């Protein structure tokens, strides 16, 4: 087979063109990768900012750890229960007793008349419009699944809520799921106290630690007094 010089030049030119096309395509892919990386960084920064806000009450180190947890896990539990609290706060601020009652589980409202009275007491106790909701400890969750009893999932968290008039410390326990008994689904236990009236401010708020169903107002923080493992640790040290 004869090969003319002109053919070689044309072949060489075509080869260079292919190389240039590949190189240009590579640069385009690289640019796309850069854009994707920038997008990922921007989203991560937004997530970091929002997650840090959720854990504001934990201090600088707590904010960092909370944000790290939020980014790696999605922070779903803390976000979910924070949203549930916000629904409750809006109902309180709208002075809507029916809306407040609808957010609580049926099992927490054994005496409807007493519960309705407690919603009115809560409306009178609460002042202002909420400006921020800060997580004090990060949401804790319990989850069980059994063929006989079904599936249950409960979220709980301590908050500090700043309104246009004052600051409240709050404990909220919310039954997210109960496939065996739908009457358990909803807010089960709610504690609230004006921060000025509370004690043990260094710790996350939990009221008397009993998680009494319904609405509990003005109960000072007993944490860590009711947590027995502190006493056990002291005994072990002795």
Over residues 165-185, the mean pLDDT reads 94
User: How much is the pLDDT for 106?
Assistant: 95
Show the tokens assigned to 32. 């796309």
Split at pLDDT 50, 70, 90, the class of 77 is confident
Over residues 49-75, the mean pLDDT reads 48
Please calculate the CA angle 65-67-70 and round it to the nearest 5 degrees.
110
Q: Select the more confidently predicted residue: 46 or 6.
A: 46
Question: 15-45: b or e for each residue (b if 16 or more CB lie within 10 Å)?
Answer: eeeeeeeeeeeeeeeeeeeeeeeeeeeeeee
User: How much is the pLDDT for 213?
Assistant: 95
Q: Select the more confidently predicted residue: 191 or 112.
A: 191
Split at pLDDT 50, 70, 90, the class of 120 is very high
Where do we find the tokens 């916000």? 86
Query: Which residue intervals of the chain are DSSP H helices?
Result: 5-54, 59-73, 76-93, 97-103, 112-125, 228-237
Question: 131-141: b or e for each residue (b if 16 or more CB lie within 10 Å)?
Answer: eebbbbbbbeb
**pLDDT value at 100 more than 70:** yes
How many other β-carbons are positioned within 10 Å of the β-carbon of residue 55?
25
**pLDDT value at 141 more than 80:** no
Nearest to 216, CA basis, from 195, 190, 187, 188: 190
Split at pLDDT 50, 70, 90, the class of 132 is very high
Percent of the chain whose predicted confidence (pLDDT) is above 70 = 61
Split at pLDDT 50, 70, 90, the class of 203 is confident
Split at pLDDT 50, 70, 90, the class of 232 is very low
Spatial distance between the Cα atoms of 187 and 156, rounded to a whole number of angstroms: 10
**pLDDT value at 59 more than 60:** no
Over residues 30-59, the mean pLDDT reads 54
Where do we find the tokens 């689904």? 185
Domain segments of the chain as ranges: 1-54, 73-229
Show the tokens assigned to 53. 């806000």
* CATH number belonging to domain 73-229: 3.10.450.50
Task: Note the pTM of the prediction, 2 decimals.
Answer: 0.65
Over residues 73-91, the mean pLDDT reads 86
**pLDDT value at 216 more than 70:** yes
User: How much is the pLDDT for 13?
Assistant: 45
**pLDDT value at 229 more than 50:** no
Q: Assign 41 to helix, strand or coil.
A: helix
User: How much is the pLDDT for 173?
Assistant: 96
User: How much is the pLDDT for 72?
Assistant: 47
């Amino acid at each position: 087979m004869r090969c003319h010089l002109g053919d070689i030049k044309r072949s060489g030119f075509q080869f260079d063109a292919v190389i240039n096309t590949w190189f240009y395509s590579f640069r385009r892919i690289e640019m796309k990768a850069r854009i994707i990386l920038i997008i990922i960084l921007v989203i991560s920064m937004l997530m970091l900012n929002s997650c840090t806000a959720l854990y504001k009450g934990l201090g600088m180190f707590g904010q960092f750890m909370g944000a790290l947890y939020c980014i790696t896990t999605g922070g779903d539990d803390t976000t979910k229960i924070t949203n549930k609290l916000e629904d409750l706060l809006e109902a309180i601020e709208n002075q809507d007793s029916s809306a407040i009652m609808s957010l609580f589980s049926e099992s927490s409202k054994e005496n409807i008349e007493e519960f309705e009275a407690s919603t009115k007491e809560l409306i009178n106790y609460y002042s202002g419009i909420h400006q921020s909701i800060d997580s004090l400890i990060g949401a804790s969750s319990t989850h069980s699944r059994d063929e006989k009893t079904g599936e249950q999932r409960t979220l709980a968290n301590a908050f500090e809520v700043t309104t246009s008039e004052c600051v409240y410390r709050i404990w909220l326990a919310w039954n997210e799921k109960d496939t065996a008994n739908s009457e358990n689904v909803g807010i089960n236990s709610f504690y609230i106290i004006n921060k000025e009236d509370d004690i043990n401010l260094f710790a996350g708020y939990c009221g008397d630690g009993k998680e009494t169903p319904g609405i509990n107002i003005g109960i000072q923080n007993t944490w860590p007094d009711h947590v027995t493992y502190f006493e056990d640790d002291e005994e072990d040290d002795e």
